[in-house]
Structure 1
């Protein structure tokens, strides 16, 4: 803390020093502008007298030169009054003393912090008086007080799961939902909430467990907007674009106009066309590549890498029949060398470029 205080004082000194230098050497803009205006007026008068023949060109030049020298001299001397360094030092000393006094009063390491029990008592009173004013993480702490008494009630864990998820602690939220499900699997109906917690815990990835939860939710309520939203995203990811549109549209139909989640559903519905166009373009490129690979392998069936790329391409296209046909042709060619065929199959299952990192 001493080091921190010293650093703060040094920074304050630097700021005051900069301010002092600025005030010491900064031009007095108002006075300088006045001098420039006088100079311009004088030059204009010289030009008028020269045009009228009252003075000759040499005299006019000499008068303008003297006026310019006077302006430069005025600019050199027009500065703001110097700030006394003692004033800055005094300000710093007073500020540092006040800060140190406040710190010793309310922030000294030797002073005990406010006991958690006292804070919890205050939070409990707030939750009882106005639950909506209590942050989710605080509400979790309040609810945890009743775990010994209510820990055997599935509804208790559903509330814990809800507030944990809202607070951003999705892993604990997921665990609480699963605990409620395990206690009463026949009556558990928070499937879409569970699926959402699973998805958020997986950084937004809608895995098989989450999909199963959302599908179960829709069995209970075909208009569950949350389940439809996440399933729609999953359907886009696996290329089932028409199903995704249906999911998003049904979700919108089940959502009130003022629901805060509605814009997100609308954005996902608009994005389906873009995703479908991109997917179609990719499949077109891959189809062309497949045709080229097939022609190449017909003339050169010893190209093991080519067989692996062909099989992988069929997987990307979702063409199971094409994959089966190509695999049969490859195995027929390597009938006498099954180990080569096995290596090709293994390589075809790797992500593109994976062999480079091995």
Structure 2
């Protein structure tokens, strides 16, 4: 039924576009008739002036010839305009009217999700109830903070800001986090969360406000991984990819043990390294990783293989990781590794699917988790 509705709407749109073409022809014919009528009236008036002696016969003959010449010229010009309109404008407009819906439908079929099953409004009742509960608790928290004689503490405003971001109310989240950072005892995490909210509000652009929040977060805690992530992003947007790469690598080298945020920084380092000609990195280059995956020795061994053998070797590791994820569906870092691996070997559809799973799992992660922006950027790039 949806395709039938789309076809009917497309046909109506084409008819609305083509309809003015028929009216335009009638207008052109009407204008030609009006011009000819005026010139014929002038001939009649000239004949009357000639009979009454207002003009001489020679003048009347010359004027008659000129008027008849104008009648012929007007008719010839009108026919040429109609022919040109029919040959050029009409054909071009008709072609556009047919091509635009065809291109739009084709693009949707290729890039959209025509096979995605619909969800009935009634089936979303649980989701709506959850949102309503969160919204109600958010309003209660806001009222409590505003009624506090001291203006509320930093932790409370930070919680409110994090909730606003989860609900997609980014501007309100920014306002709440600005109050959190203005209170005594504000932490580096609060400042990095404010930086993230500002970046989201500015559509991924590092503004002077967000850069100031990043610097403040690093001042309070130089090891803040989220602040490091956004600091590198700011340097990259300023055209300083090499400096951004060094900032990320320095933070990874300072890590004493594996932490989930390292996957995001490694992915960011590899994106930056690709633009400046640096070899790819793995988490195992910096710390011991208990979970199975390609080590530095594996990567070195792969470099000595032929192109065909190297491709098969890498693909076998990716397949092993994909099989393991079937038994560990809640392993967020595993899905991120799998998505990055698929990206490296050029399998965009599989990488997109893995990143979507990771995005769902991130719903329970902290709002200042740098893996959020990693997944958002990857999804934006793969869905282009």
So what's the TM-score if we normalise by structure 1?
0.36
Query: Which of the pair has more CA radius of gyration?
Result: 1
Which structure would you say has the larger RCO, counting Cα contacts within 8 Å and 6 or more residues apart?
Answer: 2
